[in-house]
């Protein structure tokens, strides 16, 4: 099968899977117990007022009719209006998504680079003390409880040392100043990114390191490594030019999926650091029965993960010439 035909077939499969996800999510949200109005009403509101509000939010229609409206709107590029914010879901996601991508994608890329680099180095010193210490350290990092390490980072870096801000993505005190310049604002964002990024880095880098290390160790038993050694090549050349490129395949899969999932952010990280990303919005929408917003967020994640899977599969063909479609 040619690559083109393979991609077309996968796209068709993806469309079907996406529709199934869409349908299941819609009915899950609408059939789950809970009342979207519960947080909008108070004892001062009468029965008639609640009925008016229900009708205006479109919640009086049968679930089947609501589903057809939802599908129709979806194909016209409308993702609905958030009950809570009263604003289009697409606009809310568009506001939050870049913040999440900035933090999480950067953190995933940096931790992947550092993890693979260090994994590559320590696999060459297998069983010595450095390898043991770093492997145990990576395992510890990988299993850290995120809210705990995040609070610890905040307490130490922001409160005790006072070097970093406690919360948020920007310093409002700077951004409200008319004389604040763009470089100052950029540096301000970078300053706010340090603690959350360090937390994410610690959590993610351990897993990349371990994957790279074990993959490298497998590669070292291959014949072409013996051949390279027999040719008299220096160790760093064998490691960097012969072993590492072949060992990177599992890391590519892991990074690809991590990048895809990074768009849903991390509700915990975003909550602790008050980072205005999509993860917090998603949790908020689910807990407040804001169906349109929750559906919008989940569908975006589903679409990106499906697309990332396809990209990783196609990429495999280029990285490993043995793979044919």
As measured in angstroms, the least distance from the Cβ of 304 to another protein is 21
Query: By CB under 8 A, is residue 48 in contact with another protein?
Result: yes
In angstroms, give the least distance from the CB of 252 to another protein: 20
Window of 8-16, 131-139, 281-289, 302-310 that interacts with another protein by CB under 8 A: 281-289
Q: Which of 28, 231, 311, 323 binds another protein (CB under 8 A)?
A: 231
Q: Phi and psi for 88 in degrees, rounded to 5?
A: -60, 140
Return the axis-axis angle of helices 291-319 and 3-31, rounded to nearest 10°. Answer: 160
Site for another protein in 192-211 (CB under 8 A): 194
Residue number, 16 or 172, with CB nearest to another protein:
172
Which of 18, 69, 124, 191 contacts another protein by CB under 8 A?
A: 191
**How many residues at the interface with another protein, by CB under 8 A?**
77
Interaction between residue 116 and another protein (CB under 8 A):
no
CB closer to another protein, 219 vs 289: 289
CB 263 within 8 A of CB 300: yes
Q: How far is the CB of 21 from another protein (least distance, A)?
A: 23
Among 53, 102, 144, 249, binds another protein (CB under 8 A): 53
Q: How far apart are the C-alpha atoms of 119 and 121, rounded to whole Å?
A: 5
Footprint (CB under 8 A) of another protein, residues 4-33 = 33
Q: What does the buried/exposed string (b/e) look like for 178-212 if buried means 16 or more CB atoms within 10 Å of the residue's CB?
A: eeeeeeeeeebeeebbebbbbbbbbbbbbbbbbbb
CB of 96 to another protein, least distance (A): 7
Total residue length of the chain: 325
Applying CB under 8 A, which of residues 60, 87, 126, 229 lies at the interface with another protein? 87
CB of 81 or CB of 302, closer to another protein: 81
Tell me if 39 contacts another protein by CB under 8 A: yes
How much of the chain is in helix, strand and coil states, percent to nearest 5?
A: 75, 0, 25
Q: According to DSSP H, which parts of the chain are helical?
A: 3-31, 47-56, 63-75, 89-100, 106-123, 129-142, 146-153, 172-175, 182-219, 223-230, 235-237, 244-262, 267-272, 278-287, 291-319
Per CB under 8 A, does 96 bind another protein? yes
Query: Measured from the CB atom, is 88 or 137 closer to another protein?
Result: 88
Q: Which is nearer to another protein, 30 or 306 (CB)?
A: 30
| Helix/strand/coil for 81 | strand
Question: Residue 46, interface with another protein (CB under 8 A)?
Answer: yes
Please name the residue that has the structure tokens 């990429």.
Answer: 315
232 φ/ψ angles, rounded to the nearest 5 degrees:
85, 20
CB of 302 to another protein, least distance (A): 24
CB neighbour list of residue 3: distance below 8 Å, 6 or more residues apart:
314, 317, 325
Separation between Cα atoms, residue 263 and residue 274, nearest integer Å: 17
What mask of x and - would describe binding to another protein in positions 158 to 177, judged by CB under 8 A? xx--xxxxxxxxxxxxxxxx
Q: At closest approach, how far in Å is the CB of 139 from another protein? A: 25
DSSP letters, 120-160, are HHHHTTTTSHHHHHHHHHHHHHHT--HHHHHHHHIIIIIII
Closer residue to another protein (CB): 274 or 309:
274
Binding to another protein (CB under 8 A) within 129-148 occurs at none
Footprint (CB under 8 A) of another protein, residues 304-323: none
* Whole-number Å distance between alpha carbons of 195 and 192: 7
| Of the candidate residues 274, 304, 314, 316, the single one contacting another protein (CB under 8 A) | 274
Position 90 contacts another protein (CB under 8 A): no
């Amino acid at each position: 099968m040619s690559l083109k035909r393979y991609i077309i077939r996968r796209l068709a499969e993806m469309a079907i899977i996406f529709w199934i996800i869409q349908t299941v999510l819609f009915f899950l949200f609408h059939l789950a117990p809970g009342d979207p109005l519960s947080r909008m009403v108070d004892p001062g509101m009468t029965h008639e007022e609640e009925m008016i509000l229900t009708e205006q939010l479109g919640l009086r229609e049968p679930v089947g009719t609501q589903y057809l409206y939802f599908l129709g709107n979806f194909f016209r590029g409308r993702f609905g209006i958030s009950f809570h914010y009263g604003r289009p879901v697409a606009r809310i996601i568009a506001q939050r998504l870049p913040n999440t991508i900035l933090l999480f994608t950067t953190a995933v890329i940096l931790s992947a680079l550092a993890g693979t680099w260090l994994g590559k180095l320590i696999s060459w010193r297998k069983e010595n003390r450095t390898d043991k210490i770093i492997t145990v350290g990576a395992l510890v990092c990988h299993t850290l409880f995120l809210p705990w390490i995040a609070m610890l980072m905040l307490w130490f870096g922001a409160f005790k040392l006072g070097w970093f801000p406690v919360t948020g993505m920007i310093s409002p005190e700077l951004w409200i100043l008319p004389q604040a310049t763009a470089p100052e604002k950029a540096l301000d964002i970078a300053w706010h990114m340090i603690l959350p990024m360090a937390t994410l880095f610690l959590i993610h880098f351990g897993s990349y390191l371990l994957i790279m290390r074990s993959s490298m160790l497998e590669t070292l038993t291959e014949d072409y490594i013996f051949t390279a050694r027999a040719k008299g090549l220096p160790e760093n050349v064998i490691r960097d030019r012969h072993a590492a490129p072949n060992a990177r395949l599992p890391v590519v899969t892991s990074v690809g999926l991590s990048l895809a999932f990074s768009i849903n952010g991390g509700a915990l990280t975003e909550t602790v650091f008050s980072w205005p990303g999509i993860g917090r919005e998603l949790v908020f929408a689910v807990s407040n029965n804001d169906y349109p917003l929750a559906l919008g967020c989940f569908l975006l994640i589903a679409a990106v993960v499906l697309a990332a899977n396809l990209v990783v599969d196609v990429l495999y063909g280029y990285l490993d010439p043995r793979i044919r479609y």
